[in-house]
Homo-oligomer: A and B are copies of this chain.
Amino acid sequence: MKKVALVGAGVSKFGVRKATYRDLIWEAGKACFDSVPGLKPKDVEGLVVGSVMPERTAFQSHISSLAAEALGIKPTALSARTEHMCASGTVGIRYAYAFIASGLADLVMVLGVEKLNQPSGDEAILNMGTGVDREWEAAFGLTAPPCFALAAQRHMAQYGTTEEQLARVGVKNHNHAAKNPNAHFSKGATLDQVLCSKMIATPLRLFMCSPITDGAAAVLVASEERARTLTDTPVWIRGTGQALDGFQLTSLHDDYAHWPAMKRAADAAYAMAGVGPTDVDLAEVHDCFAIAELIAYEELGFCKKGEAGRFVAAGRSDYGGDVVVNPRGGLIGCGHPLGATGVAQAAEVFAQLRDEAGPRQVANADIGLTHNNSGMGEHVVMIYGREAT
């Protein structure tokens, strides 16, 4: 299997944007091309676009072809859109990775994009219901917030996790986002603000939840040979894993505070990368809700089961701690434009492992991890390194 690296990355401004799908694609695509001096769209052999619901928000399928044309790319090896709800972007990176690892392509752009606030944020909340089982769950109101609230309730009951500990995730990620010019939110947050924010699904309050965000992100993925010609500082894909426990809530682990598929996905990625949890310097984890970040600490092996609340409260997932989690602000602070999220996570790791993250820079970052979920039972993990294996 060939070695594969990221050689470029770019991210649009995230937020409630007036921009169209095409505008967002242009913004992230141009930023990505600008990160690789001299590279032209015609040099790129393929484009994979992670996007969930352009059919609903823009009455538009076929978004990878629209994006290729918008960016001047004429794919000669591959072109596709990938959708796996909130994990669509990372699933797209894996498509490009497999093509390059097998020798079928040498240089592919992966772009994630979502324009959720169209026609309105209220409609977006309805549209997000397409991500769970419509016939057996969404139709009865069991959308994402109540599902993750059940996990939070269980974690609190079983391990004594507190509302304040959940709120600490919101504080950290809002404060990280304040250092990220592309983030949806820029003001940071105090513990009081998080704990006094509106209740969404008990115990998850507004500042513990990711918002409805528009945005796009892009990375360039290359074979070792091509990477060496494009940059002196490629960021290597060292490992990847994906696993699924189930789609419907009733098919998951009986104890909603345990997400075994995440552990299996992480273990596969760690084994492939030849590293373990203590080697990870920064992690972009899928904090769609604060409880998801806490459980991620446990399933990714950063702390033992049940200790995540104390882990965040002690600052062990922040700068100066064991591992910096969500330096760009995570989904809570940076926003969660579904298909764009996994690609934006990769773009952050790319910047961090090249010492290009400015005020967000994690010192001596050699290994970065990204985790994307599309529900409590469905997880994908990537591990990147400053050095190849």
Interface residues in chain A, defined as those with a beta carbon under 8 Å from any beta carbon in chain B: 1-2, 20, 22, 46, 52-56, 58-66, 68-69, 74-85, 91, 94-95, 98-99, 101-104, 127, 129-135, 138, 240, 242-248, 251, 264, 268, 374-375, 378
- Chain B CB count within 10 A is highest, among A2, A98, A133, for A98
Which residues on the B side are within 8 Å of A80 (C-beta)?
A: 82-84, 91, 94-95
Which residues on the B side are within 8 Å of A132 (C-beta)?
A: 62
Which residues on the B side are within 8 Å of A242 (C-beta)?
A: 46, 75, 77-79
Across the interface, A244 reaches (CB within 8 A) one of B55, B61, B65, namely B65
Which residues on the B side are within 8 Å of A79 (C-beta)?
A: 84, 91, 242, 244, 378
B69 pairs with A85, CB closer than 8 A: no
Which residues on the B side are within 8 Å of A94 (C-beta)?
A: 78, 80
Which residues on the B side are within 8 Å of A99 (C-beta)?
A: 98
Closest beta carbon of chain B to A106's beta carbon, Å: 13
Beyond known contacts A74-B243, A101-B103: 13 more, CB 8 A cutoff:
A22-B135, A46-B242, A59-B130, A59-B134, A61-B85, A62-B374, A63-B83, A79-B84, A79-B91, A80-B95, A81-B82, A98-B101, A101-B102
Nearest B residue (CB) for A22? B135
Give 25 A-B contacts (CB < 8 Å), ordered by A residue: A1-B102, A1-B103, A1-B104, A55-B127, A58-B134, A59-B134, A61-B83, A62-B83, A62-B84, A62-B247, A62-B374, A64-B83, A65-B84, A66-B247, A68-B244, A69-B247, A74-B244, A75-B243, A75-B244, A78-B94, A78-B242, A79-B91, A82-B82, A101-B103, A102-B103
Given contacts A62-B84, A65-B374, A65-B378, contact A245 B74 (CB under 8 A): yes
Closest beta carbon of chain B to A67's beta carbon, Å: 9
Given contacts A102-B101, A134-B59, A264-B76, contact A251 B65 (CB under 8 A): no
Nearest B residue (CB) for A73? B244
User: With A and B bound together, what is the CA distance between A130 and B21 in angstroms?
Assistant: 14
User: With A and B bound together, what is the CA distance between A122 and B95 in angstroms?
Assistant: 35
Closest beta carbon of chain B to A97's beta carbon, Å: 8
A61 pairs with B65, CB closer than 8 A: no
Across the interface, A62 reaches (CB within 8 A) one of B56, B62, B78, B130, namely B130
User: With A and B bound together, what is the CA distance between A247 and B66 in angstroms?
Assistant: 6
B81 pairs with A65, CB closer than 8 A: no
Nearest B residue (CB) for A95? B95
User: With A and B bound together, what is the CA distance between A84 and B54 in angstroms?
Assistant: 13
Which residues on the B side are within 8 Å of A59 (C-beta)?
A: 129-130, 134, 138
A130 pairs with B244, CB closer than 8 A: no
Across the interface, A83 reaches (CB within 8 A) one of B20, B83, B104, B127, namely B83
Across the interface, A246 reaches (CB within 8 A) one of B69, B138, B246, B264, namely B69
